[in-house]
Amino acid sequence: MSNVRVRFAPSPTGFLHIGGVRTALFNWLFARHSGGTFILRIEDTDKERSTDEAIQVIMDGMKWTGLDWDEGPIRQIDRLELYREKAMDLFKRGLAYWCVCTPEELETRRKEAQARGESIKYDGRCRNRGISEPTEPAALRFSVPQEGQTVVQDLIKGEIVFENTVLDDLIILRSNGYATYNFSVVVDDGLMNISHVIRGDDHVNNTPRQIPLFEALGLPVPQFAHLPMILGADKTRLSKRHGATSVLAYKEMGYLPEALVNYLVRLGWSHGDQEIFSIKEMVEHFDFKHVQSSAAVFNPEKLKWVNAQYLRNKEPQEVAEALTPFLEAAGYDDAVRARIPGGVEALISPLRERSETLLDFVEGAVPYLVESMEMDEAAATKHLKAAIVPSLQEFADLVEAEPDFSKETLEGLLHGLIERKELKMGKVAQPLRVALTGRTVSPGIYEVMALLGKDRTLQRIRVGVERALKN
RNA sequence: GAUCCCAUCGUCUAGCCUGGUCCAGGACGGCACCCUCUCAAGGUGCAGACACGGGUUCAAAUCCCGUUGGGAUCACCA
């Protein structure tokens, strides 16, 4: 086991966002690539917004995508005392001070400063007051060094330099006694020996605030890798407006977890021209050198394409296993599925080329699942005409008299009929398709018959004939 | 407004570090054709980008500077 220790640290305030999964994925990939440890830490210090359900949803999402963690979930709520101790330690060492400015005062001063066109950072008013035992509500602020620069050697963006004068004395302990995010993160990353902090680049501006804290606390400063954001089609941060952003929503929409992961890994990382990666290949090739430094637009079309690739290349049995819960959810139980000769697995080959998601699959499977199907009226009107009746009739009679129902036999029967009647294949196949499936679009006609079985095939052709007679 | 980040086809990207092999390659999407019992899948082809302006250099997508444009962050949220 290497010294690489990384963490994914979501705050449980809602669902697991697609961007969060990507962050988790890159952490996981780096850990697995380097034989390190991947830690799940829950940042739930905001008691108002954090919920247990959200924690469960995060874990469910990670399990679904296969991102397994080695340690945790560690909850910050269980470590509040620790943060308090570390903060007071800083105070005792003169590196932090009590601030009695109220939130309202601070807000007012920020507005005034902004109105004057000045920096809105904290003015350091309480820094030299030397309050040792506050008698009114007070927050503890960290005295940020104001000289020199803080340099971040980012693994993705390179060197980022911040003048320390732009940094203000951040609050590390709120007046209610709870640690703030920037403080608890540093304490945790330090104490957990995190070697690489891999997070969204919306955190770059937090980094120069955190580095001096590591140093003041005497904790090792990790390396940083700031991942570019995922944007919506309008180039703003991905949000609900852009469609589904919860991972589990993609599960429900019929995406395969490995396809989602594959799409996500290519969003910001590349390995030459390769598009499809097995998990093993991702782990093997992952590196920060090929992580893009600019933001990427989430493209649902390409996700669909990737999903389709997986649907087409997986073992039929595995696709069937993934599909079954969706059929079940659509109300097609065991008994219904048994209507198809060969069962659910028989659906895979004919439908996989025509489906991008498992939901598409269900849609395409309907005619073969139901006992009596719905007829698309427009299709019937167009294709089931009186002129075709003799052909359909004859074909049904031939099939009925023929004990063998194999594709080859069926093909021979239909071709013989077409030649005798001097018809075009399309002239017969299309009415047949409509009679058999109620639709103008389906897998090949012989595959359709195989999925229906002999009885339903005959029965539907007869019904089709009835219908054609009325046209 | 301040700070920081970013900039190759509509989108994801290769190439950039280590200038020439790039009149810029692949993929999604689009279009056309082929295949064909429909729809797909598959095959073939087409359109489509180095944001702009200056340098440096024999030579720049690649290095430097500036401009413009986009994004993120500026809380006793995380």
**A2 or A210, which is more confident:** A210
Distance CA A293 to C1' B52 in A: 21
| pTM for this entry | 0.93
> Is A240 a catalytic site residue?
yes
Answer positive or negative: Cα dihedral of A351, A328, A279, A185.
positive
Tell me, in Å, how far CA of A273 is from C1' of B52?
29
Say how far apart CA A241 and CA A298 lie, in whole Å.
13
Q: Which of A137-151, A249-263, A379-393 has the highest mean pLDDT?
A: A249-263
What pLDDT does A56 receive?
A: 94
Nearest CA to the C1' of B70 belongs to which residue? A235
Mean pLDDT of the A408-433 span: 91
CA distances from A422 to A389, A391, A415, A428 (A): 15, 11, 10, 11
Q: What pLDDT is stored for residue A401 in this prediction?
A: 92
Please report, in angstroms and rounded to a whole number, the separation of the first and last CA atoms in chain A: 75
Nucleotide nearest to A203 (CA to C1'): B73
In whole angstroms, B39 C1' to A269 CA is: 35
Supply A151's token pair: 């340099």
Report the pLDDT averaged over residues A229-242: 84
Catalytic, out of A63, A240, A302, A421: A240
Q: What angle do CA A49, A52, A56 make, to 5 degrees?
A: 120
Q: Which nucleotides of B are covered by protein (CB under 7 A)?
A: 1-8, 10-15, 17, 25-29, 36-41, 70-78
- The pLDDT of residue A244 is 78
Task: State the pLDDT confidence band at A240, using cuts at 50, 70 and 90.
Answer: confident
Spanning CA of A293 to C1' of B25, the rounded length in angstroms is: 20
Q: Name every residue whose Cβ is closer than 8 Å to that of residue A148 and which is 6 or more positions away in sequence.
A: A164
- A201 has a pLDDT exceeding 70: yes
Query: Any idea which nucleotide's C1' is nearest the CA of A302?
Result: B28
Question: What crossing angle do the helices spanning A181-191 and A207-217 adopt, rounded to 10°?
Answer: 50
Section A208-213 average pLDDT: 95
Q: How does strand A139-142 pair with strand A37-42?
A: unpaired
- pLDDT in the model for residue A1: 58
